[in-house]
Amino acid sequence: MKKVTFIHAADLHLDSPMVGLKHLPEPIFKRIKESTFVALKKLTQSALEKKVDFVILAGDLFDGEDRSLRAQSRLRTEMLRLEAKGIPVYVVHGNHDHLGGTWVNLDMPANVHVFSSDVEVKTLTTKSGIAVNFYGFSYLQRHVYDRKIDHYLRQEGADFHIGILHGNEGQNKMHGNYAPFYLKELLDKQFNYWALGHIHKRTILSEHPLIVYPGNIQGRNKKETGMKGFYHVSLTELDDKLEFVESSDVIWDEAVIDAKGAKSFQDVLQLCHVAINEYRRNNAGTLLTLHLNNIHIEDSSERRVLDGELVELLQEEERDEESFVWIVDLTVQEELSIDKDRLKNENGFYQELLETAEGLHPEQALAALYEHSLGRKYLSPLSTEDQQQLLEKAENLLIKLLIQS
């Protein structure tokens, strides 16, 4: 029975600057800076241990168009390890590491096959005699809005056909709509596998055939939560198999603590310790955003320390931990019971305020943020759920401030 096995990874973002984390203790910051390279080593080690036929890297290998020498050198070292065992690597470059950038170039070994800016076909005959056609292209510049999918044309003569595409599925409004495509278009190509990149959240768009976003190999901010990694894939004439392989050395996560019933600072501290130990992982660091909800401490001096000293105390205990859980952000929400129906009935002002808030469409309410030049430049698109949650938080905060004033 004909069979191929391979590693599919994407969005390595090697040498990512990890913006906003320089205030961390030096050992932890150094580990975070190294995390993309540690993930890369896990990828190549997995390819060697599983003795795969080839490796696919579906775009954004580097974090920026300048491709630092450090990142190129580390990648080259790992590619040489694969070359020594006869494992070829098929690469497309994406919007972050496009071909139009400026960098001091380090040549990759001969086993690394990079696709040009036009959709092209590369053919491999594996050690077991299986013929594989790879279809793909690399970005020529950062913004590619062309429908490159139209140029993916199946060429007969191979046992397996694999499309490599760094782009955005048409239904996804959360990311830059680069090299857009629709799921049906991929299905119509009748390929055996689609190795996608660009979306950092692990997603399987189709199981027959497999159409897969593996996500990135290492989270880089608090929006990229959970364990990251890549897929070990097996394709045969009868069935296909996916195995997710974890690669994150540092994991971003988020915890919500319901502190209702906590009467003192000591009670809150104990709840935080319990949460931290729940998120501690062997041989991995964790960067945790912690939300303390429904806080009600009557002692004003104990309430004040929640805003600063609590975080400092929790961080101090993690400085020398190998499997650290470092609190990168903490929010404190005091217990506030808001009966909106009662407020409407008792006060005409609140009735008008709440009815106005309920009538707002999330996109309309947040439009001013994205119309501002800085907003357009730095704000990422929000999902409908995130927009609604933001409006609800704003509404509750406003009511709280009005009630307490």
Closest to 236 in 3D by CA, of 125, 122, 130: 130
User: Global pTM?
Assistant: 0.82
Query: Distances in Å between the alpha carbon of 361 and those of 257, 364, 392?
Result: 30, 5, 12
Highest mean pLDDT: which of 34-38, 168-172, 292-296?
Answer: 34-38
Torsion angle (degrees, nearest 10) of CA 7, 12, 14, 18: -140
Non-local (6+) Cβ contacts of 324 within 8 A are: 28, 285, 286, 318
Percent of the chain with pLDDT over 90: 65
SS3 (DSSP) at 40: helix
> What pLDDT is attached to residue 178?
92
Q: Each residue of 148-178: pLDDT tens digit?
A: 999 999 999 999 999 999 999 986 656 668 9
**Class of the CATH domain delimited by 252-335:** alpha beta
Question: 155 with 162: CB under 8 angstroms?
Answer: no
Residue 40 has pLDDT above 80, yes or no: yes
- Domain positions in the chain are 3-246, 252-335, 338-405
171: which 2 tokens?
Answer: 């239904």
Residue 218 has pLDDT above 90, yes or no: yes
Q: Average pLDDT over the chain, rounded to whole?
A: 89
**Class of the CATH domain delimited by 3-246:** alpha beta
Which phi and psi (to 5°) does residue 132 adopt? -125, 130
Tell me the β-bridge partners of 6.
54, 233
Highest mean pLDDT: which of 34-43, 336-345, 354-363?
Answer: 34-43
Question: 370 with 376: CB under 8 angstroms?
Answer: yes
* 3-246 matches 252-335 in fold: no
Half-sphere exposure of 330 (CA within 13 A, CB side): 22
Q: Each residue of 66-111: pLDDT tens digit?
A: 889 999 999 999 999 999 999 999 999 999 999 998 888 899 999 9
Query: Distances in Å between the alpha carbon of 195 and those of 30, 156, 223, 290?
Result: 32, 19, 23, 35
